[in-house]
Structure 1
């Protein structure tokens, strides 16, 4: 009798799937009813709930082009456009009235002067004011072949060149003893620890500027958590298959650093797009100097292996080429929401690499019966932090 009951329980019932989706159907019905019939509370809000996000201001020969997104719960109508305290005519594409999540483009014919600052205020029919700033007026770069090539060259200088130069330290680093290799790995952790903090800071700063609807700061943490867990699962899967190697860790380091360098490219491209050429040039010099040490960090897990020149070339591209993509995005289609997500993914990837290298140090220390937190390792960690801190001083924030 008991076996018959177990057999019946083990067989999936034909209608069992209904119980799986029934709560979802009921939930959808409740939400639909709330949207169409309300909550039953008749009180009107004291103030209108209007939220406009000025996503982008483009400067052309004809004037300003402003892209606006309604991220609030209510519809918004723009009544007036004010530039530096002067009311100005404008045309709206498609309309001056925006429903929730609607987007409009405002064309403002204005004879702006290069180098001057401008404030663009949008006044709604309810009297709310939403502002956008143009710190230094300069014509927005047009995405043509010449500009693409120029930005690609900038990204190459900032990313591929310094990472490649850092990888040239590989023969020198191989001369170290086992204890010295441990110190180099600890130095790598110091380099990466500084990078992960810097990446989080940059991501959270950009996320705070993203439309509140998209929760930019939350995207940083979500991206970091998911990328960390993804790489951790990948790492553990390789360990179970016995495929873990120093080269794999080097590629993970290069990938994490590449995402960080993508963020640096964003900063440089955005600076040039905003007309801040002097700042952009200073960022190029600072990031190039700053990123040379990254190549050394990428090479450190392979010190006991014999990688080919093709491996070094691939690592330089993985670690440096994203700076080219970042420069393009920053110069032509910068979006703080996606930027914050990229920074979060990069931070999580770097954090997972720190975890992997830390495990390497602990495993090697246990194997050779030496202290994992030795004076050599502590000195290497401290030196890595100092190197990144000092070189970061050359980068203007």
Structure 2
């Protein structure tokens, strides 16, 4: 049995090796060179530019000439001007850039193709230091943790609602999450545009979402079979906080990246917008707890899980931003949020059957609509 299981794989590998070594048998000249260089990061230092590039094409690429603002310029390469497939090289260009001015960097390959990277407004790239590290942490704290905690403070008020009122609040949570998952997908797809083609940025977003959704569903079903009961309100709140935390990781990425390239005004604008936007997320996290008796520690943990990733995201965006990983994170976050929508919707449906309430009632519809409108209105403070 083992032999017949391994044999097709061995034969397939043998076929691939033969095609790679011998070829297809069809002779012909390449119509045009196939080369692809991706500018991963342009770092501005006192002496000039440090450009990190990735060869995402099918063959090795040799950078023959460097042009800065339409002038040919000398450059040093680490490790080499010839970059193998999926290889990286750092190009140091000693150039007297001007604070606040735009600059354009062009690489001309040995086959004559030109690849361009733009510096919109020149400013020295911030270096990792204890002071800046703590400043980014503070930004993430009052963008993520503080507004989530303020939203959780509505818990005592919501506890006074009737059964129908609790259903309306849960429906409001679903509305918040519907908007949030769409926004998360959009952010992921925007980043996917800048992902090197070989990594299939759009696919990363979809794969991350699908696999995280299915993984969480599988974990839920395994827990239900082992415990012989459905998830409690507290467990759902923790799942909700985890999904929102992944989304807030992306918000931190956006803020940190804005400050790292010198767009301080944009970064400040995003801080204010995200802070107001995230208060509604705290309300949604508290909703599944309305029938439980949580302690103050539960709320501290929920605020940390949902808001803490904004701190990590700000660090990543400010110091080591990577479009490929960011797109994947957004996809995983979207899948986690979709799974929570599924769980809360199932909860509302089953309770409506037990208490003989209509699932599609005016109160539920009103809660769902209000959740979407709240997120839409606060999102207007963030879009630019």
Give the shorter-chain TM-score range.
over 0.9
Is the 8 Å Cα contact of residues 282 and 396 (structure 1) preserved in structure 2? no
Partner of 1:153: 138
Determine the C-alpha separation between the residues in 1 that align with 2:256 and 2:283: 26
Secondary structure of 2:193's counterpart equals helix
Find the aligned partners of 1:371 and 1:85 in 2 and give their Cα distance: 69
Show the counterpart of 2:15: 30
In the TM superposition, what are the counterparts of 1:72-151 in structure 2 within 5 Å?
72-151=57-136
> Which 10-residue stretch deviates more, 120-129 or 377-386?
120-129
**CA-CA distance at 1:243 after TM superposition:** 5.1
Residues of 2 paired with 1:367 and 1:136: CA distance?
61
Q: Tell me which moved more, 38-47 or 184-193.
A: 38-47
Given that residues 186 and 378 in structure 1 are in contact (C-alpha distance below 8 angstroms), is that contact kept between their aligned partners in structure 2? Answer: yes
Residue 28 of structure 2 is matched in structure 1 by 43
Q: Does 1:314 align with 2:301?
A: yes
Are 2:204 and 1:219 aligned?
Answer: yes
What SS does the corresponding residue of 2:50 show, helix, strand or coil?
A: strand
Unaligned runs of 5+ in 2: none
Q: Distance in 2 between matches of 1:385 and 1:239?
A: 31
| Correspondence for 1:234 among 206, 213, 219 | 219
Q: Which residue of 1 aligns with 2:371?
A: 384
Counterpart secondary structure, 2:165:
helix
**Structure 1 partner of 2:174:** 189
Map of 1:5 onto structure 2: none
Partner of 2:47: 62
Q: Residue 200 of structure 1 aligns with which residue? A: 185
Q: Point out the more displaced range, 275-284 or 111-120.
A: 111-120
Q: Which runs of structure 1 show a deviation greater than 6 angstroms over 4 or more consecutive aligned residues? A: none
1:125 offset after TM fit, Å?
Answer: 1.6
Q: State the Cα distance separating 1:51 from its structure 2 match.
A: 0.6
Structure 1 runs not aligned, ≥5 long: 1-15
Residue by residue, what CA displacement relative to the aligned partner does 1:335-368 show, whole Å, maximum 9, x if unpaired?
1111011000000000110111111111111111
Q: Quick one: distance in 2 between partners of 1:56 and 1:35?
A: 33
- Displacement of 1:127 in angstroms is 1.4
Distance 2:24 2:35 in 1: 20
CA drift of 1:238 comes to: 2.4
| Separation (CA, whole Å) in 2 of partners of 1:41 and 1:55 | 36
TM-score by length of 1: 0.95
For 1:44 and 1:76, how far apart are their aligned partners in 2?
18
Q: How far did 1:239 drift?
A: 2.4
